[in-house]
Each structure stands twice: as C-alpha cells, then as structure tokens.
Structure 1
Amino acid sequence: MTMVATRTEVSTRERRWRPDRAGAPIVLVLVLIGGTVLFGDSFASGQNLRNIALDSSYLLLIATGMTFVILSGGIDLSVGSLLALAGVLTAYGAQWGSLVAVALPLLVCAAFGLVNGLLIGRAMIAPFIVTLAALLFARGLAFAVSSEGNTVHIIPADLLLTRIGQASWLGVQAPVWFALVAFGLGWVLLNLTRFGQAVFAIGGSQEATELMGLPVARVRILVYVLSAALTGMAGVLIAAQTSSGLPTIGEGRELEAIAAVVIGGTLLSGGAGSLSGTLAGVLLLKVIQNLINQVGTLTAYYQQVVSGTFLIVVVLVQLRLARRRRR
C-alpha cells in the first residue's frame, strides 16, 4: 500500500505542473503574433484562419485519441493507415447511402482498435509491435479495397454525407465542429470520470494500478478502441469534405499526432498530460505549417527540415518553463 500511495503522490505532482503549464500555449500565441506582423492579412485573414482550423480538425480528432493512448503508457502507430482505410471505406460504402458510408469505416476502425487493445492488454505484446503490424495491415487493406491505389470517388456526389462534410455553420466548416464536440467529450471522459482516472493511474504505474484492483487490461483495450474510432471519424470527414477516398493519405500522420501530444506537455512515458495541451500542440503544428507555406519559396523537403527544427525548439522551451515551475 505504501508503494501505491507513493506512486499516486508522484502522479498527482506530475499532473499538477505538466499539463497546462507546458510551453505550447505560450509559443502558439507568440507564433500567431509573429505571423501577423510578418505576413499581415495574408496570414491573419478570416479565410486563412478557417483553413488552419479545418486542417487542424482532422489532426485534433486523431491526437485526442492518441492522448488517451500515451497517457496510459502506450503508443499507436496505426492511425495514419487507419485514416486512409476509413476514407476509402467511406467512399466505398457511399454506394449504399450515407448511413453505411459512416458506419462501415467506424466499425472497421473500432475493430482494429479492439484487436490492438486485446493483443496489448491481454496478450501483453508490446504496443509498438502490435500497432506497427496494424499499420501495415490497414494500409494494405486500403489499397486492396481501392483496387491497388486508385482514388475511390463518392457517387452520387450530392450524398447527404458530402453535403454535411462540406457545409459551414456560423462561418466555420462542419469538420471543425465535429472535432470540437469530440474533443469536448474526450475532455469530460478524461477529467471527470473514473475511466480517465484509471488512464492516468495506469500510465503512472501499471503495477501499482493492478494492486489497487483497477481493470488494467479493460482500460487499455478501451483507449485503443477510442483512438481507432476517432481516427475513423477523421477519415470519414476527410472523405466527405473531398468527395473521395484516397489510400495514400495519412502517411506520417501517426508521427504528427504523437508530436502534437508531446508538444502539448503529455509525458511520452505516460501518466501526466492533458487534452487542452494537445489542442495547443495541434494548433501550433498547423500554424507553423501554414507560416512555412506563406513563405512560398521552400520546397517540401526544406519545409520538413524547418518543421523538425521548430519542433525541437518548442520542446526545449517546454523543458525550460517546466524546470522553472518545479523550483
């Protein structure tokens, strides 16, 4: 019991200084100000900000699920491939109507998450191995369904799903609203329920959590199902927005989601972090990408170099701010 109490105290102390005191929100504000000063209306225009919000919405859905996984001490490398698979299945299922177009990818992605969770939580296989295998399997399935990499177009184009996906409410695109609702529900689940407490506890110390009698395997299964389902939702929304499913999308999205979560202050080892930090991390990554595009003279390869360099700078700022607050 002493060990349990000690680990609980450590976890509580980490959660107190890490989540919302990370450097991402501060750096985000500075980058927004700098972008406005340097590029003026081309950056700060309403249309450009809406574009950033739309691009961020898909990553926010994936990163929300990834936050649960990382907080529990796991990792999910399959989300990029599941994103592509969900988009292809959405387009494929559209021939039977909007309901099938939405239900099919969500069920398939949730099934992937369930298998991942069972292998990790019950069979005790390393998350890296399990989700890497799922990455390969899902990408291959996406190519198979799309007839070896061809774009699958949603027919008819005026399907209810595409009308909703391309709609705007109060001047904000529909995918952004869906992402914000999912984020809000995720925040409630993580911070106001026993399930959320168990996620933090397992990430802090699985051994201590088992001694406390919490259902470790069940929680691990649920976080992977949640991650896969939210990724499936992102794939559905992308297909609805573009009226097509492309099996090549999503490459590197798993790394982008992990980066957003870590930049937001969540410990990669699990046990400490927050969804609000993840939101700041997502926006920061997308704003940086938008600013690079504003320059217009950098090739895609140099853009990756700049993005990687900025990622290191942000993490260093985080560490410095965290150390100051711990003194």
Structure 2
Amino acid sequence: MTSLDLNLRRFTRPLGEGTHLTVWVALGLLILFGAWRYDNFLSAYNVSSFLQYNSMFVLVSVGMCLVIMTGGIDLSVGAVAALASVVAALLSARGLAVALPAGVATGLMAGAINAGLIVGLRLPPFMATLATMLAARGTSLVVSDRQAVTVDWTSDFTALGMNKIGALVPWTIVAALLVVLVAWHVLERTSLGRTVLAVGDNAEAAHLMGLKTGRALVFAYLFSGACAGLAGVFLASGYGAGQPLEGQGWELAAIASVVVGGTLLTGGMGSVPATVAGALLFGLVFNLLNFENGLGVISLSAYWQSVIRGTFLLVVILLQVRLGRAAARA
C-alpha cells in the first residue's frame, strides 16, 4: 500500500454495514409483500416496466451520490436530462450511434459548467447548479420550441429504450448497471474515488495533504452530468419523444435515494450499491401504491408521490442526525 493510500484512508470512513444493509432488507421485504398481495406483481410486464422506468432514476441517483460524497449537491440533473432528451430526439434520425453520444455530451457539458463554477470560480454548489438548472431548462424549451420532440421511428434510436433481453430485462437497466459498476470501481478501487470521499470528509485537510481535490470535484460533477445526459437519452428512446418539461423533481428523487441509501449529506461517507437500492426502493413504493389503487383499497393521485417522498426523506434525515449525534458521543 502506497503512502498516498495510507493518507487517504485516514480521511475516509467506511459506511457501516448496518446502515446500507437496512435499505436492501427493506427492498427485499417490499418485493415479498408485493408478490404475496398482488397477482400480477411479478408478471413480465410489471417487472420490465418497473426496471425500464427506474433505470433513469438509478442513473441520476448514482451521479448524485458521488457529488454528495464530496459534500456538494447537483440541482441540475433533472433539467439536464430533459435537455439531453430533446437533443437526442432531434438527432434520432441519424441513429443511436449519433443520438446517444450527443445526449451524453450534453450532460457532460452541463457537468463541466458546474465544475468550472464550483472549482474555478469557487461558487457554492447549491448556487452554481441552480444556475445551470435554470439555464438547461430554458435551453430545452428554446430548442424544442416548447413542444415535445418526436423521435424518428424509422431509425434504430428507440431500440435502446424499448428492446429487452428476453421478456424481462430492458437494455436501459443493463446500461444503467454498467454505469453503476464503473462508479463502484472508481470509488472503491482507485485513489480518485478515495479522494472524492476525502474531500467530503475534510476538504481543507485533504488539500493540505497534497491530494488533487480539484480533480476529484471535477470528476464528480462531470460524472453526474453524464449520468443525467444518459438518463435523458433513455427518456427519449423509451417514450418516443424528447420532453423539455420532464425531469422536474428528479433532483429531489435522486437526493432522497442517496440519503435513504445511507450517504451522508455532509459528505465523506456513502455507498453506490446502497444508492441503487434506495432508488429502486422509492420506485417500488410507488409501484405498490399503483397496485393498491387498482384494487380500490385506496385512491391516491400522482401528487401524493411527492408527499410520500418528502415524508420518507424527512424521517431518514432525522434518523441520520440521531445516529450522527450518537456516534459523536461515543
């Protein structure tokens, strides 16, 4: 082990096993409950639709996870995904080989702007990404002329969002899981990943130790932007149109998934796999509510999803605060 790795380990704290194991247990229990209560819960259609829709949220949540690990925030992911969906739809006639990189490049450009504002101009992440969010939202409306942009159905662009491996596994969830593996590898197996955690744990101390804190921040925001861009491509390819008004509230859903997965909002501690579980857990809760609506037991509109997400997030944050205080006293 090099001296750099030893120094990095001094400033990174592993996430407690019990913290991220809980979200996996909760996810497993909800799956068992759904299989027991609803006849078609494990049907090919429901499983495939669930994975296809939530692949977008897995992506933006993993990108957000790395940003929050640095102690930052990225409020632009939803607007950037919407803009990327419009760009990809406009270029869909040229096929997936052109539209996919263009959508991801759109996200990378937004991530580069965020990184430049935060690292170069030293703006607070909240203000920098808020500005990018507003700019991306306005740009998507201007480029699309405030209309949904229909994709070219004669090209192969929709294959990514609509085709499946067998009857259950959409290509979008496979692509999302590949991104998850990349994020996990970087975080767990490279000095760059440990520097990301070190920045969130104590940015000033990490800088004084000679760690490349700026590079870690730039990587986190570029990665988050790329994930949002790819999610936008999934959106356009899977639903047949670029949606300039889509993505509202995605940043809150991503933050909620990250926090539920055990990542500290103050940075320095987190888990990519647990974030994936958090994103799937939220999606599964709303999937179960849809089944309950179908049974006629309850009648909740889509607006209740925001109420439930907000309440759930508040409870998790309060638990994090209590656990943090208990750890500090110990």
Would the TM-score normalized by the shorter structure come out above 0.5? yes
- 1:19 positional shift: 7.8
Q: Deviations over 1:131-156 (max 9, x none)?
A: 00000000000001101x2111112x
2:209 is aligned with what amino acid? M
- 1:56 positional shift: 1.7
Q: 1:24 maps to which residue?
A: 23
Flag the 1:7–1:163 CA change in 2: closer, same or farther, 3 A: closer
Conservation of the 8 A alpha-carbon contact between 1:23 and 1:318: no
Counterpart selection for 2:172 from 172, 175, 189: 175
- 1:81 positional shift: 0.1
Does structure 1 residue 215 correspond to structure 2 residue 212? yes
- 1:226 positional shift: 0.8
Give distance in 2, aligned partners of 1:318 and 1:45: 36
Flag the 1:325–1:212 CA change in 2: closer, same or farther, 3 A: closer
Give distance in 1, aligned partners of 2:32 and 2:16: 26
Counterpart selection for 2:106 from 102, 105, 108: 108
Give distance in 1, aligned partners of 2:325 and 2:29: 20
2:87 is aligned with what amino acid? L
Flag the 1:309–1:161 CA change in 2: closer, same or farther, 3 A: same
Mean Cα deviation higher: 182-191 or 312-321:
312-321
Conservation of the 8 A alpha-carbon contact between 1:19 and 1:264: no
Matches within 5 A, 1:1-327: 9=10, 11-12=12-13, 15-17=14-16, 21=20, 23-37=22-36, 39-147=37-145, 149-155=146-152, 157-171=153-167, 172-296=169-293, 297-313=299-315
Give distance in 1, aligned partners of 2:65 and 2:290: 28
Flag the 1:16–1:300 CA change in 2: closer, same or farther, 3 A: closer
Conservation of the 8 A alpha-carbon contact between 2:259 and 2:313: no
Give distance in 1, aligned partners of 2:262 and 2:305: 24
Q: 2:3 maps to which residue?
A: none
Q: Secondary structure at the match of 1:202?
A: helix
Flag the 1:210–1:158 CA change in 2: closer, same or farther, 3 A: same
Structure 2, unmatched stretches of 5+, are 1-5, 294-298
- 1:177 positional shift: 0.7
Flag the 1:320–1:54 CA change in 2: closer, same or farther, 3 A: farther
Conservation of the 8 A alpha-carbon contact between 1:20 and 1:265: yes
Give distance in 2, aligned partners of 1:87 and 1:164: 13
Give distance in 2, aligned partners of 1:50 and 1:288: 16
Conservation of the 8 A alpha-carbon contact between 1:84 and 1:250: yes
Give distance in 2, aligned partners of 1:185 and 1:19: 24
Mean Cα deviation higher: 110-119 or 79-88:
110-119
Flag the 1:78–1:221 CA change in 2: closer, same or farther, 3 A: same
Q: Secondary structure at the match of 1:11?
A: coil
- 1:8 positional shift: 5.5
User: Among the aligned pairs, what percent are the same residue?
Assistant: 36
- 1:288 positional shift: 0.5
Mean Cα deviation higher: 20-29 or 124-133:
20-29
- 1:80 positional shift: 0.4
Mean Cα deviation higher: 62-71 or 315-324:
315-324
Mean Cα deviation higher: 165-174 or 122-131:
165-174
Flag the 1:224–1:54 CA change in 2: closer, same or farther, 3 A: same
Q: Secondary structure at the match of 2:12?
A: helix
Q: What is the TM-score with the length of structure 2 in the denominator?
A: 0.89
Conservation of the 8 A alpha-carbon contact between 1:105 and 1:236: yes
Give distance in 2, aligned partners of 1:318 and 1:126: 23
Q: Deviations over 1:158-184 (max 9, x none)?
A: 312212331111331110111111111
- 1:272 positional shift: 0.3
Higher relative contact order (CA 8 A, sep 6+): 1
- 1:10 positional shift: 6.3
2:25 is aligned with what amino acid? I
2:72 is aligned with what amino acid? G
Flag the 1:322–1:82 CA change in 2: closer, same or farther, 3 A: same
Conservation of the 8 A alpha-carbon contact between 2:90 and 2:151: yes
Q: Secondary structure at the match of 2:92?
A: helix
Q: How many residues align?
A: 318
- 1:64 positional shift: 1.0
